[in-house]
Structure 1
Amino acid sequence: MLLAVLSGFLLAAAVPWLYKLLQGRINWALALLPAGLTVYFASFMPEIAAGDQVLVSYNWIPSLDIQLSFLLDGLSLMFALLISGIGTFILLYAGSYLHGDRDLPKFYIFILAFMASMLGLVLSNNLISLFVFWELTSITSYMLIGYHHEQLKSRKSALQGLLVTVGGGMALMAGLILMGSVAGTYEISEILNNGDVIRDSGLYTGILILILIGTFSKSAQVPLHFWLPNAMAAPTPVSAYLHSATMVKAGVYLLARLNPSLGETELWHTILPLFGALTMFTGMFLAYRSTEIKKILAYTTLMALGTLTMLIGIGTELAIGAAMTFLLAHALYKASLFLVAGSLDHSTGTKDITKMGGLARIMPITTYAAILAALSMAGIAPLFGFIAKEMLFEAVLESNYLTSFLLVLTVATAMLGVAIGGVIALRPFFGARKETPSKPHEAPFAMWIGPATLATLGLLCGLLPFLPERGILSAAVTSVYGEYESFYLTLWHGFNLPLMLSIASIAVGVLLFFGWDAIRARLLWLDKVFAYGPERGYEKALDGMNWTAQWQTRVLQNGYLRYYLLTILATLIGLVGYTLFTGYEPRLLFDFVGVQFIEAVIAILIVLAAVVAATTHSRLGAVVSVGVVGFGVALVYVLFSAPDLGITQVLVETLTVLLLVLVLFRLPEFLDLSSTAARMRDAVVAVAVGSLFTLLLLTATELQLHDPISQFFVENSEPEGHGRNIVNVILVDFRALDTLGEIFVLALAAIGVYAMIKFRAEEYKK
């Protein structure tokens, strides 16, 4: 299992070498990996269909009880099959679509890493490892969306997707950590069995909101939907992969995975259906207004993500069954449609669907795939999308929350879906032949085998629905909902209300299809309204962030060391001082009992030397004063039985004084460059810092939070350190790293002294 997840990263590392070896045939070689993974995961289908699970665990961070563990059940198996199966066709397609591109090896590296990240995400059985793979999908998708990095649009779209998803990822991380803390484990398989513990916790609301922010940002729910259509700046193979089975469904996957733990609450049954339904209708409405084929498909992906979120939120057995069925149907038709869109663009040189027509005879295989996939998206029998739509209507009708609201938006979305399906299936291929920038031609084998196969699978699943039901869907429903009683798939449910709604949606959808041009023209005034939508808020937030960065750079990072020190010290005074005076009782008692005369003299000398160093206009006086401070501190170490520190201090202080002498005498004389007000300000800050640390030391000496550690050293010096000289044992054994640091300091001082001697010798030779 671990090798299956990591194989994509390993193969990505070998791409540069393989590309030199295979050149234009590399896509066929690389496609062997996801094809092999598809076979590998498919071998688990009998076991998973029987209700079993596969758990694999490796030690990762045992001290934090974090494992690198993997869970293969119905839900993760379905996603793994989609990721690897569709990934096979994506790699084949990309080799032909991007043939001759100078950055093609880079594309293969990123797409393989992305595939591996998605496999790790859906198979992870640990919340922390899941989050790691979650962020890896954001990073690799950023590189894929920005593949054409020389174009400003690609860079902006990639950055937008990264900021939105990673921003949501930070909230997700907090939610997952809180969930693990409440459940007492980070293992997902254990958390799923303790849902009551999380739902009964006072932190449930916070956990749910944080996780929903992360999942909604990833799966582009309203109002965070704007980044997804802009991600169409990516090459078409990337769009097909991201929208069908991978990144944008990661949020949906996590919602489905955590349904047993977070679901079955009023908050869950309200938030998810509400945002899901709004996203569903918004996506299809925006698709109806668009003419660029990739944008149309991107907006219909929003529709699908909203539908899945709504169904998971409804949470009934029928709704979960409809969600899993719709997820599979969408993956098959959406991957096929995006690959068809790439073939049309590759063949005609345009993405505008209004500028295409009469291509059926020229591109018969592409036409076949487009018609089947588009009809499945529209929910037309006998395609698999029809079964999914019937179950969707039935699930919404049985919803216990927001039923009327959800039903109206669902039916309206289905009507628009029929119209969009007709636009995609008919406008480019039938009607009058239109002139295009490039002479159209049928796509090569590597580009049509994927969409044709996937579209055909959509037809077979519709005609033989028991195959996907018994093969994977039943196990997926069990993983998300639990044991089911009545989930089954069939093409014919009899004359019932869902069928009537389906017929009505088809009838109105046909009218919307024929009126597409006229209605779309009448909706152009909405462009001004949408200009003030969520994307404008994102842009304003980004501008504000850039303004803040520029401001703090001008004010805080201006290149003047004095301002850096002032900022650091002022922050220190504010935070530490506030904590000291509000959380503790500062000790202002000065006890001089037991202070010897020599100690008092040294302390007074240090204070006077520091004052002189800060006020003198003589370089030599300043150097001498600094030296007095340093050597005075060394004497304090010696008097208090720390000869090792005293020796180190003497050596470093000697080197410092010598360096200061050598440097300062090569500089101009001292000048009063600071104003009196600036010097007074610096003096106030210096006195405040000194007073603060004096209070901290006096307070610390009065606090005894733990027993003295000295007794530990006395008792363990000989048995643990095998030495009777306690000081030596402390330095060599108990504080070995500290002693090593002092050795480095001494060595550095010796090197400095040697360098100065050599420097002076060379000067004398000259």
Structure 2
Amino acid sequence: MLTAILTGFLFAIFLVFAGKFFRGKLAILSSLIPLGLFIYFIRFIGEIANGEIITRTYSWIPSFNVDLSFKLDGLSMLFTLMITGIGFLVFLYTSSYLKGHKYLDRFYGYLGLFMAAMLGLVLSDNMITLFTFWELTSISSFFLIGFNNDSEASRKSAMTALGITGIGGLLLLAAALLLNYISGTYSISEMLTMGEAIRSNQLYPLAVILIFGAAFTKSAQFPFHFWLPGAMKAPTPVSTYLHSATMVKAGIYLLMRFSPILGGEDIWSYTLIIVGAITMLYSAIHTIFRTDLKGVLAYSTISALGILVFLIGFGTEEAYLAAAVFIIVHALYKATLFLVTGIIDHQTHTRDVTRLSGLFKIMPLVGVAAILGAISSGGIPPSIGFVGKELIYESTSKAEWMVILMVIAIVSTKILLLYAGFVAGIKPFTGKLPENLQNTKKPGIILWAPPLLLGALGIVLGIAPFLIEGALIKPLVTAMGVDASEIHLALWHGFNEVLLLSAITIGIGTALYFLIKPSAKLENGIAKLDAIAPENLLWKFNGGFKIFSQYWTRFFQNGYLRNYISTIILFTVGVVGYIMLRDGRFEIDYMRLTETTISEIVVTLVLIAGCIYTVFTRSRLAAVVAMGVIGWSICLIFVFYSAPDLAMTQFSIDTLTVILFVLVLYKLPRYLKLSDYKTRIRDGVLSTVFGVMIAMIALEVLAVPANTEIGDYYAEKAYIAAHGKNVVNVILVDFRGADTMIEISVLSIAALGVFGLMKLRLRKSERRHYD
């Protein structure tokens, strides 16, 4: 299973070296990667259908209880087949859609990374592993959305998507740490056995909020939805793969995976129902006001995601069944319509639905695929969309909370989604062909075959839903902790109130299609409300935060080192001093203090004199020399207390510092301009308080019995394990070798920078510029 996940990463690495071979006719071979993975995973359908769960565990960070744990059950099975199955068609489609593109190999690399990350996400059984792949999907989608990086709009959309989903990733990490604190494990399977204990914990509401934050940002729930329409700046294969079948459903997967663990409580159910209802209705209404085909599909995608969140919130067997079927329904018809939109854009160079009609005469097979997708989108029999819609209505009609309002909301949403599906799938192909499109070329088979296959599959599964009943639906519902033995899918359930709701949906939705024509007037009308749209409110907040940050930076990061040091010292005095005063006790063990010698008194007096002279002298060079005297005095103290290595280091650093300062400062003015009287008093008081506090802490430390365990360990192991007689050197080179190596690297880099500045030779004009 790990090999299957790594295949996508290895493919991306392979393209770094052999990418040029995949920019031409060989590009189609890249589709063999997802096809092979699809065949690999489909082999497990029989085992999963029989109730088996396939697990694989690889040790990763055992000290932190983090393993590469993977689980293939009914829930992950459905998602892996969507990721690889639709991935195969997208890879195939891309070979023709981006044919001849100079960065086609790079695009395939990003697709491979994303596919591998999504597989890792849905198969992970460890929350840290899940988080890792979750973030990889955000990063890879950033590159895919911003693939046309010469476009400012694409770059902005990619940054927005990364920002929103990145916040969700941080919340998911926080949720993982919190759930580990509650349950004592990162294993999702182990958490499933502790659901009741987790829900009864006082931190349960916080864990739910964090999971919601991750899921809502990833699956574009209101008010975080706006990143998804903006992501439509990406090439159509990206929109098809990421925003209809895979990435945006990662949040749905997260909610479904954690429903048995966190579900069942009011905060879980009511939040999901309310957020889902607002998202699905709000986004469905937006489809009326869009003229860009991808814009229509983007908002209908958000609406469909809202329906899934809405259903998960109910938490019943009927709702889980409806959600399971609708995931398949949406993946099939939305991928179909996105691919058809890409063909239209590729052949006609426009996605403006007001300028498109009559294309059936030029591309009939594409028109068939689009119509099949629209039928499934609208829930019209005999499509699988009709089966899914009936299940949604049935589960909603059994709601225990505001059932009438819930039914009205879901029916209204489905009516608008039928309208959106007809606009995207039927309108461009019916009516009279405009003159400017008369010379439109027919697409090749590689372009029209994938959407036609997906559209036909939506009809086949509607006529024969038993094909997915036992293989996919029942195992998924079982994975969510519900008995699925009585589940039976059928196209016809007889005459009942659910069928009546379906008829109302089809009738009103069709009427809307003929009554409301997409127009620039409608789009401009909704644009007047952009000022209060969540996206613009966020950008206004960002603008205000930027202004605040500028004032904050100017106040604290004002360029004066003395102010930085004063702030740090003041903060330290405040915090440490408060703790010391709160405890109210200072223990000084005078018996541990050694007798003062005349040499120590002399050195101390010299040190004090150096400090006083440094503070009050008006000469820069004199201050530097006095600071050198202070450093050498400290060297002597180290010598007195048998630390020659420290003394040597201190002596070298102080000597070098004095020399460097003299070389730099001899060209500066001879005298210092001392600060005003009040500032000097302030700094003097602050430094005195800080010095006294440090002295008291040092004296109090002496009263604490020394723990020699660590020192004894190093002393014992220095010669035996590291074969060194100097314990300090052994610690630096062997026991703390990584730290020392990093410090040496930093010094080397700094030395290279200094060397470069010393060798820099500027022209006179350049010198004046930098001066």
TM-score (norm 2): 0.90
Residues 101, 545 of structure 1: CA spacing in aligned structure 2 closer, same or farther, 3 A cutoff? Answer: farther
- How far apart are the structure 2 equivalents of 1:177 and 1:711? 32
Aligned-residue offset at 1:188: 1.0
Q: Is the 8 A contact 2:182 2:201 kept in 1?
A: yes
> Is residue 118 of structure 1 aligned with residue 118 of structure 2?
yes
Deviation readout 1:183-223 (Å, 9 max, x if unpaired): 11101111112211211111111100111011111111111
Give the alignment of 1:593-742 within 5 angstroms: 594-619=595-620, 621-672=622-673, 674-676=675-677, 678-702=679-703, 704=704, 707-710=705-708, 713=711, 717=715, 721-722=719-720, 728=725, 730-733=727-730
Query: 2:373 is aligned with what amino acid?
Result: A
Partner of 2:342: 342
Q: 1:511 to 1:580 in 2, by over 3 A?
A: farther
Structure 1 residues 539-558: aligned runs within 5 Å: 539-558=539-558
Q: Could you tell me which residue of structure 2 aligns to residue 168 of structure 1?
A: 168
Query: Equivalent residue for 1:457?
Result: 457
User: How far apart, CA to CA, are the structure 1 residues paired with 2:193 and 2:326?
Assistant: 26
Q: Secondary structure at the match of 1:68?
A: strand
CA distance in 1, matches of 2:312, 2:202: 23
Which residue in 2 is equivalent to 1:762?
none
In 1, are the aligned partners of 2:589 and 2:700 still within 8 Å (CA)? no
Amino acid at match of 2:547: W
Deviations 1:457-509 (A, max 9, x none): 11111011000112211111111233323212100111111111101111111
Structure 1: segments with no counterpart, 5+ residues: 760-766
Q: 2:483 aligns to what?
A: 483
Aligned residue number for residue 226 of structure 2:
226
Give the aligned residue type for 2:698.
L
Structure 2 residue aligned with 1:443? 443
Give the match for residue 763 of structure 2.
Answer: none
- Please state if 1:105 is matched with 2:102: no
> Which residue does the alignment assign to 1:187?
187
Residue 255 of structure 1, CA deviation: 0.3
Q: Shift of the alpha carbon at 1:622?
A: 2.7
Shift of the 61–716 alpha-carbon distance from structure 1 to 2, 3 Å rule, reads: closer
- Tell me the equivalent position of 1:763: none
Identity %: 40
Partner of 1:130: 130
Q: CA deviation at 1:692?
A: 3.7
Question: Match for residue 561 of structure 2?
Answer: 561
Give the CA deviation at 1:733: 4.7
Q: Pick closer, same or farther for the CA change 1:587–1:103 going to 2, 3 Å.
A: farther
- In the alignment, the residues of structure 2 paired with residue 719 and residue 230 of structure 1 have an alpha-carbon distance, to the nearest angstrom, of 61
- 2:54 maps to a residue whose letter is V
Q: Which moved more, 1:119-128 or 1:588-597?
A: 588-597
Compute the displacement of 1:118 (Å): 0.8
Give the AA of the match of 1:394: E
CA distance in 2, matches of 1:308, 1:699: 62
**Distance in 1, Cα, partners of 2:740 & 2:605:** 28
Amino acid at match of 1:72: L
Question: What letter matches 1:508 in structure 2?
Answer: I
Deviations 1:636-673 (A, max 9, x none): 11222223322332333333334444444454423317
CA contact (8 A) 2:291 2:523 kept: no
Alignment partners' CA distance in 2, 1:479 and 1:536: 40
Tell me the residue number matched to 1:279: 279
Q: Where in structure 2 are there 5+ consecutive unaligned residues?
A: 759-771
**For 1:508 and 1:393, how far apart are their aligned partners in 2?**
16
Counterpart-to-counterpart distance in 2, 1:205 and 1:678: 51
1:481 counterpart SS class: coil
Return 663-672 or 307-316, whichever deviates more: 663-672
Q: Deviations over 1:556-583 (max 9, x none)?
A: 4454434443444444444444444446
CA distances 1:72-102 after superposition (whole Å, capped 9, x unpaired):
1111111011001111111121222222333
SS of 1:291's partner is coil
Say if 2:733 and 2:740, in contact at 8 Å, map to a contact too: no
Number of residue pairs the alignment of both structures matches: 747
**Equivalent position of 1:139 in the other structure:** 139
Q: What code does the residue aligned with 2:124 have?
A: S
Aligned partner of residue 360 in structure 1, secondary structure: helix
The structure-2 alpha-carbon separation of the partners of 1:722 and 1:492, relative to structure 1 and needing over 3 Å to count, comes to closer
Q: Would the aligned equivalents of 1:349 and 1:436 in 2 still touch at CA under 8 Å?
A: no
Could you say what secondary structure the match of 1:453 adopts? helix
Check the 8 A contact 1:364/1:442 in 2, yes or no: no
Runs of 4+ deviating beyond 6 Å:
587-593, 738-745
Bigger Cα displacement from structure 2, 268-277 vs 429-438 = 429-438
SS in structure 1 opposite 2:351? coil
- 1:293-332 alignment to 2 at 5 Å? 293-332=293-332
Letter in 1 for 2:618: H
Q: Residues 102 and 264 (structure 1 numbering): CA distance in 2 closer, same or farther, change over 3 Å? A: same
Task: Summarize deviations over 1:543-600 as a string: whole Å, max 9, x none.
Answer: 1333244334434445443444344444444444444444675669999883333323
The RMSD of aligned alpha carbons is: 3.0
Tell me how far apart the structure 1 counterparts of residues 710 and 354 of structure 2 sit (CA, whole Å): 84
Q: What is the alpha-carbon distance in structure 1 between the residues aligned to residue 529 and residue 663 of structure 2?
A: 70
Residues 519, 729 of structure 1: alpha-carbon distance in 2 compared, 3 angstrom cutoff = closer
CA contact (8 A) 2:620 2:672 kept: no
SS at match of 2:280: helix
CA distance in 1, matches of 2:340, 2:713: 78
